[in-house]
């Protein structure tokens, strides 16, 4: 069975940058492709979810797990949501890391903390684990312009093998909706993860 069709465990972290639709669409696609999803989210992500999507992201991990499982039709146990201070959760330890991790959207503060190896919450700790265990880490920053400090942190992480994938949609597909723009970025993330999708045609191909 090819990697694109093999069920893997993907950790998705939602932080307080603009771009919540990217994160939720990513979760939807991963679950739809049959992968297991572990979800973490920051406190500020709750504010962004309400501002950008009119979604009251609950503070309790169990409530989020139940709501998103129902929303995306996840199988029993396919989606697990952990609290920010759940230090006994699987992603906190290198003995049980995910196959890959995506921080989408990723704040510059989270990116900086990861670059410095900080572990002040479970998102930062999970990223540290993924790096030290040699697993795949994709960061999706949504910021502009980038300062020299931002760029230096991104360069440091890129040299460690971290994929820096800014949320910059292309227009050569002639998007007709905001959803098309979201799908462009999510498609690039899925490509990095080796997850098959049909969000948009490949370059040189038509539908």
The β-bridge partners of 81 are 39
Give residue 63's pLDDT.
96
DSSP strand E in 56-207: where? 79-81, 100-106, 136-141, 163-164
Whether 74 has a pLDDT exceeding 50, the answer reads: yes
Topology annotation, domain 3-193 = Rossmann fold (3.40.50)
pTM of the predicted model as reported, rounded to 2 decimal places = 0.95
- Mapped onto helix, strand or coil, the DSSP state of residue 194 is coil
CA quadruple 173, 177, 180, 182: dihedral sign = positive
- Mapped onto helix, strand or coil, the DSSP state of residue 136 is strand
Give residue 205's pLDDT.
79
- pLDDT of 107-157, one tens digit each? 999 999 999 999 999 999 999 999 999 999 999 999 999 999 999 999 999
Give residue 5's pLDDT.
56
Enumerate residues 6+ apart whose C-beta is below 8 A from 84. 40, 41, 42, 43, 121, 122, 123
Mean pLDDT of 20-25: 98
| Euclidean distance between CA atoms 81 and 63, whole angstroms | 9
Give residue 1's pLDDT.
34
Nearest to 161 by CA among 199, 135, 188: 135
- Mean of per-residue pLDDT scores for the chain: 95
Q: What is the DSSP letter of 201?
A: P
Query: What percent of the chain is predicted at pLDDT more than 90?
Result: 92
Top-confidence residue, 101 or 84? 101
């Amino acid at each position: 069975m090819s990697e694109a069709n093999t069920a893997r465990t993907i950790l998705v972290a939602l932080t307080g940058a603009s771009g919540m639709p990217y994160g939720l669409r990513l979760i939807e696609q991963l679950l739809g492709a049959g992968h297991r999803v572990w979800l973490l989210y920051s406190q500020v992500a709750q504010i962004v979810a309400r501002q950008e999507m009119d979604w009251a992201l609950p503070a309790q991990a169990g409530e989020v797990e139940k709501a998103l499982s129902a929303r995306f039709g996840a199988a029993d146990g396919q989606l697990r949501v952990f609290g920010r201070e759940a230090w006994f959760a699987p992603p906190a330890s290198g003995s049980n890391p995910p196959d890959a991790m995506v921080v989408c959207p990723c704040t510059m503060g989270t990116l900086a903390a990861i670059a410095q190896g900080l572990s002040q919450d479970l998102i930062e700790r999970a990223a540290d684990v993924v790096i030290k265990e040699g697993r795949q880490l994709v960061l999706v920053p949504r910021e502009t312009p980038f300062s020299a400090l931002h760029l230096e942190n991104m360069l440091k992480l890129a040299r460690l093998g971290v994929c820096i994938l800014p949320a910059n949609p292309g227009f050569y597909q002639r998007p007709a909706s905001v959803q098309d723009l979201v799908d462009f970025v999510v498609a690039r993330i899925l490509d990095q993860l080796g997850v098959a999708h049909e969000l948009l045609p490949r370059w040189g191909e038509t539908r």
